[in-house]
Structure 1
Amino acid sequence: MAVDTSARTATWTYVDGEWISGNPPLIGPVSHAMWLGSTVFDGARWFDGIAPDLDLHCQRINRSALSMGMKPTVAAEDIEKLAWEGVKKFDGKTAIYIKPMYWAEHGAPFSVVAADPESTRFALCLFEAPMNTAKPSSLTLSPFRRPTPESAMTGAKTGSLYPNSGRMLHEAHGRGFDNALVRDMNGNVVETASSNVFMVKDGVVMTPVANGTFLAGITRARIIGLLRQAGFDVREVTLSVEDFMNADEVFTTGNYSKVVPVVRLDDRQFQEGPVARKALDLYMDWARSTHGTDG
């Protein structure tokens, strides 16, 4: 039987000491990751010769592995070096997504359900992915919610959390929206299905306080810091759906697209606001002034 190792865009993956093009078959039907979900990943971006906060993403993947009961096998600084090595395999014309990953190959000796940390494997995948920075987005309130730390591995960037986000997106797309505004089990807004979220009211910038139910992202933290340095009043607080419906401006942040203005939340229309534009300008100015082009 032929194996399809193609990829949708130009792709290179480092695994077991070598770089492989396309989509190499790495996980089999008896692999723990395949049937019991022991996968973690992270995602950084390369564009215009820079990879902002790449070091922080490489550090977080190792923390995620530990949270999932796996054993990180590559030091964060070595993952970073490999990423720059991989970037050089591309033509430099298109933005790249940098995705380090760990997964377990076997179950633990005491129970197949738990991952065996000694079977942890590592791969680093890079693929071309154009930036959608500043492309306006629409949101709808999702009927689905984020789990609590007691019920899911919310402290890790794990693949097992993403089917929940996937159903949020399917449901939102089915009603004509780009993304979904998501609540926690207490009914407070925490994020969107795929990014962190901010709102502005009377000049004050607010974002849901990190409460353990969602990933408080690296780009989120960077935007908070840059806006504060620029003189904005930025607050991490508990926010309701009503707060967002009454906001002057809404925008999202995430590694994939950096800063995205929200122009619609259900029946409420928004303008592309000045804070979102300023946040993106501040981010790009910081990224270009503090990150080199050769790793």
Structure 2
Amino acid sequence: MATIAKPVSYSQSWTFFEGEWHEGNVPIMGPRTHAAWLGSVVFDGARAFEGAAPDLDRHCERVNWSATNFRLKPMVDTDTWIGLAREGIARFKPNAELYIRPMYWAQNGSGGGVLFDPETTNWCLCVYEAPMPQPTGNAITLSPFRRPTMECAPVDAKAACLYPNNSRALIEAASRGFNNCLMLDMLGNVAEFGNANVFMAKDGVVHTPAPNGTFLNGITRQRVISLLRGDGVTVVEKALTYADFLAADEIFSTGNFAKVAPVIRIDDRQLQPGSFYTRARKLYWDFAHARKLAA
């Protein structure tokens, strides 16, 4: 039986909202806030761990890209996001393992409420303790839930309203004893895990689903592809089926929360953390540590 992680109800947290830092879980959305009622939220998530914050700039840039694509109004430039993130990190003990979450949301709607008003865009930046998961390995299966297309959902943004379906997928997988699951796109090809991007290796080549507009082309995903290719590994982005993963030599995930993590079982087939996973994780950790936060 797979071990299912329990939700964390609280950890030390600092949030910059309306011009100042607040400690704890700050109530920033009420029942009439459009975002709380109808899900008009975009966000991003950077990591600080072991004194480093890899790709912080790219995460801060992407939240503005998400806001623009979602038709919210970006209010904060990238340099300001980065500066606030560093201020927030400095409020924690050195080398704390942190999650950095810039957010935009619509405060008010118009008409019947479904249409939000971009001019009421609000924002905050939350930094909180979130220990890095240990790379003990996940047991995975195929989810009955699928990723949407552009016509069905705002897949061109890191939008909060996309995540409940992924949560349903993870809950369903957990009910069958799995930590995670592979989700297909509408054509039946593998898109991603319920909470991360996916890689597999077969016959000395690393493969990963080609971004096709149904899932987020993650920043950690892009970084790992670049690092592996720079280290001489062949990485192929293409359409992949669930059968491809069932026959894989190894499978691993990339994502901002856990970074690079192995898969140790797919359905009833046991796997071992493989050489490409080990290489990818080491390359990423070396990259991250080369970008230490300024004192």
Please give the range of the TM-score, normalised by the shorter of the 2 chains: over 0.9
Partner of 2:6: none
> Which of 67, 70, 92 is equivalent to 1:68?
70
Measure, in 2, the Cα distance between the counterparts of 1:65 and 1:133. Answer: 32
Following superposition, the deviation at residue 94 of structure 1 comes to: 2.9
Give me the TM-score of the superposition, normalised by structure 2. 0.95
What is the Cα deviation at residue 153 of structure 1? 0.4
Alignment of 1:27-38 (within 5 A): 27-38=29-40
> How many Å apart are 1:68 and its aligned residue?
1.3
- Partner of 1:112, secondary structure, is coil
**Match of 2:5?**
none
Deviation at 1:93, TM superposition (A): 4.7
After the TM superposition, which residues 15-164 of structure 1 pair with which residues of structure 2 at under 5 Å, given as runs?
Answer: 15-108=17-110, 112-164=113-165
Tell me if structure 1 keeps the 8 A contact 2:51–2:95: no
CA RMSD of aligned residues (A): 1.2
User: Which runs of 5 or more residues in structure 2 are unaligned?
Assistant: 1-8
The separation in 2 between residues aligned to 1:23 and 1:119, in whole angstroms, is 22
Residue 292 of structure 2: aligned partner? 292
Q: Is the 8 A contact 1:208 1:236 kept in 2?
A: yes
Q: Which runs of 5+ in 1 are unaligned?
A: 1-6
Q: 2:198 is matched with which residue?
A: 197
Deviation at 1:292, TM superposition (A): 2.9
Instruction: Find the residue that maps to 1:211 and give its secondary structure.
Output: coil
Tell me what 1:180 maps to.
Answer: 181
Counterpart position of 1:12:
14
Render the CA deviation track for 1:132-168: whole Å, top value 9, x for unaligned: 1523111110011001111000011111001001100
Tell me the residue number matched to 1:4: none
Q: CA deviation at 1:107?
A: 1.3
Matched pairs, number: 287
**1:115, 1:252 → 2: CA distance?**
35
Summarize deviations over 1:58-106 as a string: whole Å, max 9, x none.
0000011111111010001110110000001011253000000000001
Structure 2 residue aligned with 1:238:
239
Following TM superposition, where does structure 1 have runs of at least 4 consecutive aligned residues deviating by more than 4 angstroms?
none
Counterpart residue type for residue 175 of structure 1: R
Please say if residues 133 and 259 of structure 1, whose CA atoms lie closer than 8 Å, have aligned partners that are also in contact.
no
Letter in 1 for 2:192: E
